[in-house]
């Protein structure tokens, strides 16, 4: 099961084979946001509180395109080689 805070690897798309941490999940649409991956440009209008312009932010990725990364297995593989 994919949860917020877990480390995942992206299987398809422009960020294929990169790893990151899940920061948000949309369970109704089976999508998740991964920290600093699948970045898109967003045009933001100026308001009294915020300055406008073009900002970069994470976009959702379908859960089927993500794979959990098990940190424990990686550690064991590294130790076994030594």
Bridge-based pairing of strands 53-58 and 61-62 is unpaired
Distance, in Å, from the CA atom of 72 to the CA atom of 34, rounded to the nearest integer, reads 21
Query: What is the pLDDT, as a whole number, of residue 76?
Result: 56
Under 8 Å CB-to-CB from 63, ≥6 apart: which residues? 2, 30, 31, 32
48 DSSP 8-state letter? S
- Chain-centre distance for alpha carbon 37: 5
Look up residue 22 and give its two tokens.
């899940």
pLDDT-derived band at 70 (thresholds 50, 70, 90) equals confident
Q: Residue 64 above 60 pLDDT?
A: yes
Look up residue 27 and give its two tokens.
């369970």
Q: Which pLDDT tens digit goes with each residue over 5-52?
A: 999 999 999 999 999 999 999 999 999 999 999 999 999 999 999 899
């Amino acid at each position: 099961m994919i949860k917020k805070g877990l480390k995942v690897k992206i299987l398809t798309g422009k960020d294929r084979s990169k790893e990151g941490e899940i920061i948000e999940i949309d369970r109704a649409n089976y999508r998740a946001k991964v920290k600093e991956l699948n970045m898109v440009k967003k045009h933001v209008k100026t308001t009294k509180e915020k300055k406008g312009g073009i900002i970069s932010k994470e976009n959702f990725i379908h859960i089927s395109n993500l794979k959990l990364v098990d940190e424990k297995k990686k550690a064991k593989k590294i130790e076994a080689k030594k």
